[in-house]
Structure 1
């Protein structure tokens, strides 16, 4: 039997696990919802949920990986009691990895393209309408989008083809360290801009009134708390085995509570620093920090246009954004390749070749959804293929997958609490507390289900429809 690969260093494990968790949600979603729900007050609520919800599930996912020494393909098979069916989830988990890559590779391609455009000076001299038109024009160019999507897929698969230590670990370590350094430089530049003080005040001064009430005086505390729960949960990419795979590559020298905490701190540092880059810059140039693609592809190019040496800062920003996206792509690709290697005994080379072709083909509907397939609007006007793929992953597979890992680790019908705790606490460092057994067994699953239900309500306004139906 082939010996399982392992990381050459603990730093490699931490940076790659953080790289998987650190993605576009940190950079464009976190600053926006932080601003929407009261700045620093929202951050405090978010950190609370990160500790009481995100970290326990991350420890569980790492534990299942390390104890089984397998990817999601066979990890449940290795640990489940004889005759139980936990392993069925492995197919849903790997489907989540493929679905995530079906739209993530397209966005990563946009970021690499925007780095090239910023470097070439394509935005120099354009007003805000001109910058917006650049993005609109890109949406109508499926060939150009496909080219950069293919570049992303091939580049990341080539890195994974070199193996864990020589490819994934070596490249991701450099990429993540550069990303962290770039963020600090960009944040300092934004903070030193004239007029940046208002942005810092908005972002860093807790405003508990804005956490409870919106600009129109509507009570939104429940909505804000749900947003904090959702962000804490989804930012870590939990539930589809994307983190468990890295647990399977590490030794038993360190306890998993401490490792999960470090990954969570790195993830939060990136999200928080993204706000330090975006808010001062937007306020300095009187630009609204919009959410979603507008922020990255329309709002910020306008900011860089108005900034001294904006072309340089803009190019650096899109290098950092590309690194954030590519680190996630590489981590998820590694999970997909390990699934094929564990499940069917494929060589790494075969897994890379088959999956390169498969992911390129599977990624086409997303980018065609902005042009050729724009008539397909699954959630009504303005929605597209990407929205459907994102909904299946974010609102279904991540919360329900996390619930599977959670129940597997605490239930006597699964791996069981004692086995989980022994694995999590093997090694030096922060231990997973025994005293939280009741909380993680009975309360945490309810919180995860609440996120799942609220996600559906948020998407389809189910509560409003029920109220209307009952004539209340």
Structure 2
């Protein structure tokens, strides 16, 4: 047990899969493929892998180090590790607020995945053996607050229901099942996609860097997009990964654990593209369509292929598992943070937070229909505004704060950080990276922050 007599994971595999599940989400199976499609395919993937190695993994080791050293969630972890009189712990409150805001809209999007899974499984994408207009299905969902609300409420209730069973019997067991199921579904759907006509053209677009396409899109745009996606894919900067560090033992060095999590996250993202791009090229679908690719384009492919109902059901089961792995992980961060801060029982925290998020997620649901005229700066609706706060402000600024806390003398300090990272067996973090972490990495994160703040 860690400080605070909190429950811990039953195995290292449980820790890896739950932590990977936090990082793996809709961003992997939805955003990564359409970002690759919009940014030239293979060249984007190449830069994505580069930035994942030099940015994502280092900051992940820092979150895990803060969690493991303190055995606490962000607010109390900062208080334990900061020097007397310092105020780093204020950032812990911002992290907790960010987790709430994220779940206020992520549960809605997760509900969309659950809704589409239900529709394919029950045959609602066909009428009298004929496909229906797919775009009309999504428009109908957006304009129906009751339908969208039902699936959002189901998402919240299922998520907190899992957590009510505890860390080992709930979060760990269910996420093991979902992650293993997700990887199996990826393998099945990838095999199916490889067998489609013209699949090889899709694979070439996706995996082979093409300088001609890069010039057309713009190399600077590709690099900035890859940098942002590599940074956001691991869910770092908001304490969601830190909480799992607080459950860890000292047997393994954190560099190796972070690499393992990042590899799992990347495998899911890459394999999602292996499913989508061969299908796009086989059915004459433009791969650069953007966010509509999953809800308007991919279902169109399924309803027009043999056994499409089966393949569509499996695909959106995959999407549901991916989204729920993030939902349960961030819910755990919220629940245990409230336990730590207010010293209440876990069951009480589960009940309070479940009730709160059932209400707090409604504005996002209603923002597409009843409150569709409610817009924020930049013409953003409720979901876009909440996503802007988290993705463009809280995550990158949070990662910058965590980085500075871990590598400067004004915070915990590089020596303390490197000592904690290198406890145990496995890959050692080299101390010569100190100046890279202090000088180069803050500049890269600052670029992402400024890019996000001034985006349209």
Structure 1 and Structure 2 fold alike (TM over 0.5): yes
Aligned to 1:429: 426
Per-residue Cα deviation, 1:171-209 (whole angstroms, up to 9, x for no partner): 101110110110011011011112222211211222122
Q: Which of 128, 138, 141 pairs up with 1:138?
A: 141
Answer yes or no: is the 8 Å Cα contact 1:139–1:371 preserved in 2: yes
Q: Which of 29, 38, 59 pairs up with 1:36?
A: 38
| Stretches of structure 2 lacking an aligned partner (at least 5 in a row) | none
1:290/1:102 CA distance change after superposition, 3 Å: farther
Answer yes or no: is the 8 Å Cα contact 2:36–2:42 preserved in 1: yes
After TM superposition, the score normalised by the length of structure 1 is 0.94
Q: 2: distance between equivalents of 1:2 and 1:80?
A: 18
Q: 2: distance between equivalents of 1:273 and 1:73?
A: 36
Q: 1: distance between equivalents of 2:180 and 2:205?
A: 29
Per-residue Cα deviation, 1:264-308 (whole angstroms, up to 9, x for no partner): 101110000000010111111112235555222111110001111
Aligned to 1:371: 369
After TM superposition, the score normalised by the length of structure 2 is 0.97
Q: What SS is found at the alignment partner of 2:140? A: helix
Cα RMSD of the aligned pairs, angstroms, is: 1.4
Aligned to 1:354: 352
Deviation at 1:13, TM superposition (A): 0.7
Q: Which of 402, 406, 409 pairs up with 1:405?
A: 402
Q: Which of 188, 196, 200 pairs up with 1:197?
A: 200
Q: Which of 202, 209, 213 pairs up with 1:210?
A: 213
Q: What SS is found at the alignment partner of 1:74? A: helix
1:380/1:419 CA distance change after superposition, 3 Å: closer
Matches within 5 A, 1:70-469: 70-124=72-126, 130-214=133-217, 220-289=218-287, 291=289, 293-380=291-378, 383-459=380-456
Per-residue Cα deviation, 1:361-417 (whole angstroms, up to 9, x for no partner): 110110100001100122455x31000000000000000000011000011111111
Q: Matched residue pairs, number?
A: 453
Answer yes or no: is the 8 Å Cα contact 1:127–1:302 preserved in 2: no
Answer yes or no: is the 8 Å Cα contact 1:285–1:306 preserved in 2: no
Answer yes or no: is the 8 Å Cα contact 1:16–1:331 preserved in 2: yes
Aligned to 2:26: 24
Q: What SS is found at the alignment partner of 1:254? A: coil
| Stretches of structure 1 lacking an aligned partner (at least 5 in a row) | 215-219, 460-472
Per-residue Cα deviation, 1:78-111 (whole angstroms, up to 9, x for no partner): 1101110000111110011001000000011111
Per-residue Cα deviation, 1:130-168 (whole angstroms, up to 9, x for no partner): 211111111111111111111111111011111111110
1:88/1:127 CA distance change after superposition, 3 Å: farther
Answer yes or no: is the 8 Å Cα contact 1:106–1:363 preserved in 2: yes
Answer yes or no: is the 8 Å Cα contact 1:138–1:145 preserved in 2: yes
Answer yes or no: is the 8 Å Cα contact 1:290–1:299 preserved in 2: no
Q: 1: distance between equivalents of 2:189 and 2:230?
A: 24
